[in-house]
Amino acid sequence: MTEQKSRQGQAKVLRIFRKVHRLTGAFLFIFFFVVSVTGLLLGWKKNSGGYIMAKSYAGTSTDLKDWLPVDTLHILACNYLRDSVSPSLSVTLDRIDIRKDKGMVKFLFSDHFTGLQLDGATGKLLYVEARRSDYIEKVHDGSVIDYYLGTSGTFKLIYTTLMGVALLVFTITGFWLWYGPIRMKRSRA
């Protein structure tokens, strides 16, 4: 009698886990789809022929003593942004990537997805890039909502917590859906 109750208990746990697994999957389907597609794109960004992530162009000198001061390069980058891209774009910087081995400096802006590559020695504009990989990353981690709403990471925190907990729930329930029937068969024998 206790063996039958034990099997009934195991079967009940399996039904509960199956229901949780199914409902979680149905509720979060769109989010899982977005995370998987953007994750694939981010994985392939360096192998996209420059479409997702621009190649880094080479400047004329890798010797820092030949380079212009960073503040001069910054002024040039802001001028190039206004003259070559759009005068209405913000010049607020997100970061400056110095690529000494390439002789190049990248200027990445906060309020849009544009990057400028300048020759560190001459200040010449090497390339204007659309920062598609940055946008895809924001979609991937949910911070794109914060970007458009102007919030300080609240949505990203909620989104990543929800997705992390969902992945944990899927892992536990999926394992139990695989292991539970094996356990029930063993207890029958």
Mean pLDDT split into 10-residue runs, the chain, 189 residues: 71 83 84 94 94 95 97 97 95 96 97 96 97 96 92 92 90 83 73
C-alpha to C-alpha distances, 75 to 71, 80, 101, 123, 126, nearest whole angstrom: 6, 9, 22, 10, 15
DSSP labels for 25-86?
HHHTHHHHHHHHHHHHHHHTGGGSTTSSSPPPPP-S---GGGSPPHHHHHHHHHHHIIIII-
Consecutive H or E run containing 148: helix 143-149
**Does 71 lie in the same domain as 30?**
no
94 and 155 housed in the same domain: no
Residue type, 18: R
Domain match, 71 and 125 both: yes
Task: Quote the domain boundaries for residue 78.
Answer: 55-130
Note whether 138 and 177 are same-domain residues.
yes
Is there a single domain that holds both residue 110 and residue 123? yes
Q: Give the separation between CA 66 and CA 48, rounded to whole angstroms.
A: 33
Domain co-membership, 155 together with 182: yes
pLDDT of residue 189: 61
Same domain assignment for residues 63 and 96: yes
Which residues does 98 contact at the CB level (< 8 Å), separation at least 6?
70, 105, 120
Distance set, CA 27 to CA 22, 23, 157, 164, 178 (Å): 9, 6, 19, 14, 22
Number of domains in the chain: 2
Q: Which of 98, 130, 162 is the last residue of a domain?
A: 130
Report if residue 124 sits inside a domain: yes
d(CA 185, CA 189): 7
Quick check: is 15 in a domain?
no
Give the model's pLDDT for residue 177: 79
pLDDT for res 17: 80
